[in-house]
Amino acid sequence: MSILVTGATGTIGSLVVQGLAAAGAQVHAFVRTPGKKSFPAGVKEVVGDLTDVASLRAALSSVRTLFLLNAVTPDEVTQALVALNLAREAGIERIVYLSVIHADTFTNVPHFTGKHTVERMIESLDIAATILRPAYFMQNEFMVQQVIQGYGVYPMPIGSTGVAMIDARDIADIAVAELLRRDRETVPSPRVTLDLVGPEQWTGESAAKVWSAALGREVAYGGDDVAAFEGQMASMAPSWLAYDMRLMMAGIQKFGMHGAEGAADGLQALLGRPLRKYADFVTEAVAAS
C-alpha cells in the first residue's frame, strides 16, 4: 500500500514527498493542478481537491497511510474534517496531521483554533495519528528577506517572549520518520502529539543581530507594531489572512512559542542528528540571495 501526501506541492509537502521517495516508500502526491511540480521517479501524481469529495475519496481508496496538511484558507476546517471522515470511511488507521504549536492557547487566531478543532476530532474519535505541532518556520523569513537586506530592518514583530523557530526541512524529516513508522506497523500505535521546535529561542532583537552578523552591517528590529505588520501583509495577501497573521503575531508577543520540556532533545533523538540552527539558516539565505 501507499502513503498519500496532501499539500504535496507546498514547502513542507514537497519535502515530505522527496523524503518518503528517497526512503523507498510508495508515494501518492495529491495535487490540484497536474504537472505543476516535478516529483521524484516513482511518485504517483493524484489530481484532486480537498473540497471535492469524489476526488478525495478516490485518492484515499488505495492508500494505507495519510499525511494531512491543509493550507491556511477560509475553509481549512471543512477540508480537514472531510478528509479525516473520508479516511476513516476508507479504513485508513495511520495518519500524520500537521497542526500548529499552542493551537489550544492562541484561541482568537482563526487558523490556530481551526487546527485545534481538527485535533479535537482526532482525539475524540481516538484516531491513530501523530499530531505535529510546529512553531514558527525559519522559512517565513523569506517573505521579508528583501526588506531586511534592502532596508536594514527585521520587520517580523515577534516580540521578546521567545520563539523556538524550526527549519521546515526538519519538520519534513520528522513527518517522514513518523509516516514511515506508522506505515510499517502491523497494528496502528496510539495517538502521539509532538511539539516541533528548534534548539534555540529567538526574539525580534536577537534575530536582527543574527541578520546583522550575516550581512556584515546593522539590522535593527522593526518593533512590535502588529497593526503596521497587518498593513504590510495586506499589500501582498488577502485581508483576512493579513488579519489572521496580525493576531498570530500578537499571540507570539504575549505567549511566545515554546515547546514542552525536552521537546527539542526528543526531536534530535528521533532524527538521529542535531536540529538546524537559525544562524546557519540565515547564512544560507544570504549566500543564496
147 in Cβ contact with 118 (< 8 Å):
no
Distance CA 151, CA 115 (A): 35
Q: Which residue has the cell 477560509?
A: 74
pLDDT in tens, 134-148: 999 999 999 999 999
Reading the chain (289 residues) residue by residue, the pLDDT tens digits are 699 999 999 999 999 999 999 999 999 999 999 888 899 999 999 999 999 999 999 999 999 999 999 999 999 999 999 999 999 999 999 999 999 999 999 999 999 999 999 999 999 999 999 999 999 999 999 999 999 999 999 999 999 999 999 999 999 999 999 999 999 999 999 999 999 999 999 999 999 999 999 999 999 999 999 999 999 999 989 999 999 999 999 999 999 999 999 999 999 999 999 999 999 999 999 999 8
Render 133-169 in DSSP notation, one character per residue.
Answer: EE--BGGGGGGGHHHHHHHSEE-----SS-B--B-HH
Q: How far apart are CA 231 and CA 209, in angstroms?
A: 25
Strand pairing report for 63-68 and 153-154: unpaired
Report the distance separating Cα 147 and Cα 152, nearest Å: 7
Contact 231, 222 (CB under 8 A): no
The answer to whether 157 and 249 are in contact (CB under 8 A) is yes
CATH class of 2-137+166-195+258-275: alpha beta
Which residues have C-beta within 8 Å of that of residue 48, sequence separation ≥ 6? 30, 31, 32, 55, 56, 58, 59
Q: Give this prediction's pTM.
A: 0.96
Where along the chain do its domains lie? 2-137+166-195+258-275
C-alpha span between 92 and 88 (Å, rounded): 6
**Which helix or strand (DSSP H or E) is residue 220 part of?**
strand 220-221
Residues making up the chain, counted from first to last = 289
pLDDT in tens, 100-123: 999 999 999 999 999 999 999 999
| H/E run at residue 54 | helix 53-60
CB-hemisphere CA count at 13 Å for 54? 0
